[in-house]
């Protein structure tokens, strides 16, 4: 469609819909900063849930409760506010609603803060990706997610295996990935870091 009558190319350009770039989340941890693109365009339900939790400060002050070298770093349980809590890994956000930032629809968190499984984009659990944690049951993801430090394709929702973990983001640079790997290699006891790794803040811009 060509605009007429203005004679100004800028006016034509301004009249076209613009694809907004995906937001970038900054994870400020005690071991360094991790920046990840959040796939709002491909995974709007999951990404909107994460962005809502980040923007309300849900993640600030929590700890990585499970880290395994050559595998992943798990994070996002509210019980991990106490880094030594035996309940870390079992919690989720409060039940309620949040806005789908793509469609404008109201999405629900229910049954312990769980959201709908979003088996939409076929994005593999590659190194540097963010992926939803769940209990193994359908629709059991909430606030917890993990950072893949290797290619864990057996966790893909579209793989033949039982584990179904949708990816909703990925690191934007090598420095961020290096921090992910460093966290995974920190000394642990029962997979929990001996020296707590704290999430000082998560911001999305």
> What is the set of active-site residues?
66, 71, 74, 134, 146, 155, 165
Residue 115 DSSP label: B
- What is the C-alpha separation between 20 and 204, in angstroms, rounded? 14
**Could you tell me which residues come within 8 angstroms of residue 56 by beta carbon, excluding any fewer than 6 positions away?**
none
- What is the C-alpha separation between 187 and 177, in angstroms, rounded? 18
Q: Are 192 and 199 in contact (CB under 8 A)?
A: no
Residue 78 DSSP label: G
35, 41, 42, 45: CA torsion to nearest 10? 90
Instruction: Say how many C-beta atoms besides its own lie within 10 A of residue 80's C-beta.
Output: 28
């Amino acid at each position: 469609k060509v605009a007429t009558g203005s004679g100004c190319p800028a006016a034509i350009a301004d009249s076209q819909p613009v694809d907004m770039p995906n937001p970038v989340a900054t994870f400020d941890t005690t071991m360094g900063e991790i920046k990840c693109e959040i796939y709002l365009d491909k995974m709007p339900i999951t990404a909107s849930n994460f962005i809502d939790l980040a923007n309300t400060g849900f993640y600030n002050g929590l700890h990585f409760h499970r880290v395994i070298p050559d595998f992943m770093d798990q994070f996002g349980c509210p019980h991990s506010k106490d880094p030594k809590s035996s309940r870390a890994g079992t919690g989720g956000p409060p039940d309620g609603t949040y806005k789908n930032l793509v469609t404008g629809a109201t999405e629900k968190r229910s049954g312990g803060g769980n959201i709908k499984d979003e088996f939409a984009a076929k994005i593999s659990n590659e190194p540097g990706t963010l992926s939803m944690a769940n209990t193994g049951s359908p629709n059991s993801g909430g606030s917890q997610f993990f950072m893949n430090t290797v290619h864990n394709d057996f966790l893909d929702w579209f793989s033949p295996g039982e584990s179904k973990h949708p990816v909703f983001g990925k690191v934007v640079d090598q420095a961020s990935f290096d921090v992910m790997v460093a966290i995974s290699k920190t000394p642990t006891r029962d997979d929990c870091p001996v020296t707590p790794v704290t999430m000082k803040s998560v911001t999305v811009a």
